[in-house]
Structure 1
Amino acid sequence: MAKQQKTEQTSTETLEETQERLKSGGKGVPTPTRAEQEAARKRPLVPSDRKEAAKQARAKAAEARERARVGMAMGDDKYLPARDRGPQKKFVRDYVDARFSIGEILIPVMFLVIILTFVPSAEVQAISILVLWAFFAVAVLDCILLGYLLTKKLRAKYGDKAERVRWYAAMRALQLRPLRLPKPQVKRGQYPA
């Protein structure tokens, strides 16, 4: 008989009342049954307005992507890919961004050479190609020197636990400064300690 009265009481309660009662949970309130807890948590698998639900899901996903993009651009470790994480990689990024690398202007020089190859003079074309190869060789030598310096500095700072970062540093040094990701966090000449 008591069970019948209890089930009638729970069936007459609305969902809001049940949730309010579950939240209060203070003295004098009986512990809710499993059926009551499940009823309070129930929500439909398919929302009543599917278009609105899809629109909200897209907006939420776009907001998460924007947060991740801004976080990566600012160098937040949480949003960086695995290849860019860690204090040693941050040190390398800051060191590369603080110095001027010859490779930074490699892409503009290549565009200039492409334009010069349209000049009808064979001498101009040959000289421009030779200049490009010489510039490329200087950029490679600059990257080798950068890798040597960074390896030395990382060993001095981190000891035997220094990672191999020569390729990482070279690829960053060959990019135009405004196009680097994560964005440079230091100014030119502001070398890391």
Structure 2
Amino acid sequence: MFGRKQDPPPTVDAPVVEEPPKPGTTGKGRPTPSRKEAEARNKRPLVPADRRAAAKDARAKQRVQRELEYQAMRTGDERHMPLRDKGPVRRYVRDYVDARWNLGELFLPIAAVMLVIQFATARSASVVAFASLLLLYVYIMASLADAWLMWRGLRKRLVAKFGESGLPPRGLAMYAVLRAFQVRPSRLPKPQVKHGQRPS
């Protein structure tokens, strides 16, 4: 009555018998790797054994990528363009700006001429130097107003063509204005349309 309880007999798991594959089905032909084996196979060293060789390979890949992007921007091939220049919206913006005569695209040459005149006449003819500086500021204001009018017309066309939801939330106005202030031969991606050849 008060004796030790006997331990229950040990349970033995029944052997698992694998079912033969059904006719018409084929297995993968190899055992499933254990989790430890899969993790060991996927491990990569955080620091490569040869840092110089790894850095050299990385620089070579970056050089090839930059060369591809530069050639794409020269030829208009969008497959290899940088992400900021890809897509039909960005292409439409570029074509619209390139087809238009912008006051901003002549800003750098005119500013250079005005500054040369100002430095050349600063001591001998201060009135001419002041007038050249004043004309430069007037041209800057006119260029900004022209860029604003350009963006207003461009945005209406973009909304009509792509819809409000098809436009990126920000950055498009600056993308167009900065391109309008670049000298046409130095623009990248290269212009694909001529002046007056506006996109539909």
Do they fold alike, i.e. is TM over 0.5?
yes
What residue is the counterpart of 2:162 in the other structure? Answer: 158
Equivalent residues of 2:69, 2:82 under 8 A apart: no
The one-letter amino acid of 2:69's match is: A
May I ask how many residue pairs the two structures share in their alignment?
150
Distance 1:59 1:171, change over 3 A: closer
What residue is the counterpart of 1:74 in the other structure? Answer: 75
Superposed, 1:8-157 pairs within 5 Å as: 65-118=66-119, 119=121, 120-157=124-161
Q: Percent identity?
A: 42
What residue is the counterpart of 1:186 in the other structure? Answer: 193
Which has more radius of gyration? 2
SS in structure 2 of the partner of residue 169 of structure 1: helix
What residue is the counterpart of 1:48 in the other structure? Answer: none
TM-score calculated relative to the size of structure 1: 0.66
TM-score calculated relative to the size of structure 2: 0.64
User: CA RMSD for the aligned pairs?
Assistant: 2.9
Gaps of 5+ in 2: 1-55
CA drift at 1:62? 5.4
SS in structure 2 of the partner of residue 117 of structure 1: helix
Match of 1:176 among 168, 173, 183: 183
CA drift at 1:69? 1.4
- Report which of the two has the higher share of helix: 1
Distance 1:126 1:190, change over 3 A: same
Moved more, 60-69 or 126-135: 60-69
The one-letter amino acid of 2:158's match is: L
